[in-house]
Amino acid sequence: MSFLLNTLTTKREVDTAIRDTLDKVLVLRFGRASEPVCLQLDDILAKSSREISKFAVIALVDIDAEEVQVYAKYFDIVLIPSTVFFFNAHHMKMDSGTADHTKWVGSFQCKQDFIDVVEAIFRGAMKGKLIVSCPLPPEQIPRFQLLFKGL
Partner 1 sequence: MTKLQKAKASMRPLAKKKGESGGESFEFCEVCNLNHDQGRRHRYFPKHSRTLANTLSRFQNKLSELQFFIRNPSFLRSEHAALNRIWCVFCALDISEIGDYFVCGNAIRHLASELHFWNLKRYLWKHGGGIDRVDLFRVSEADLLKWEKGCEALKNVASSSSEGPIGPVLGPSKDIQFKHELNSNKMDSFNNHSISSFSSNVSHPVLPLQIYTNENYGVCHPNDNGSATAAHVDKDSIPLSLGLRGNVYILIFRFVNKSGVECKRVDFKGKRGHVETVVYNIGTDYRESNGALQMLTPIALPSEGSPANVHTGGLPPWLDMCDEREKSLLNFGAHMNNHAPLAHKGKSKKLNPKRVGAAWAEKRRIELEMEKTGEIVKDSVDANWLPNFGRVWQAGTRKESRKEFERENKKMFKDVLHSEASSMLQPYISKRMRMGSSSKVEAAEPFIEQQ
Q: List residues near partner 1 by CB under 8 A.
A: 11-12, 15-16, 18-20, 22-23, 70, 73-76, 86-93, 100-102, 124-130, 146, 149
Q: How far is the C-alpha of 111 from the C-alpha of 43, rounded, in Å?
A: 9
Q: Is 150 exposed, middle or buried (0-12, 13-18, 19+ CB in 10 A)?
A: exposed
8 A C-beta contact, residue 19 and residue 90:
no
Closest separation in Å from C-beta 106 to partner 1 = 16
> In the complex with partner 1, which residue's Cβ is closer, 17 or 38?
17
> In the complex with partner 1, which residue's Cβ is closer, 26 or 136?
26
Closest separation in Å from C-beta 53 to partner 1 = 11
> In the complex with partner 1, which residue's Cβ is closer, 3 or 20?
20
Q: How far is the C-alpha of 82 from the C-alpha of 60, rounded, in Å?
A: 10
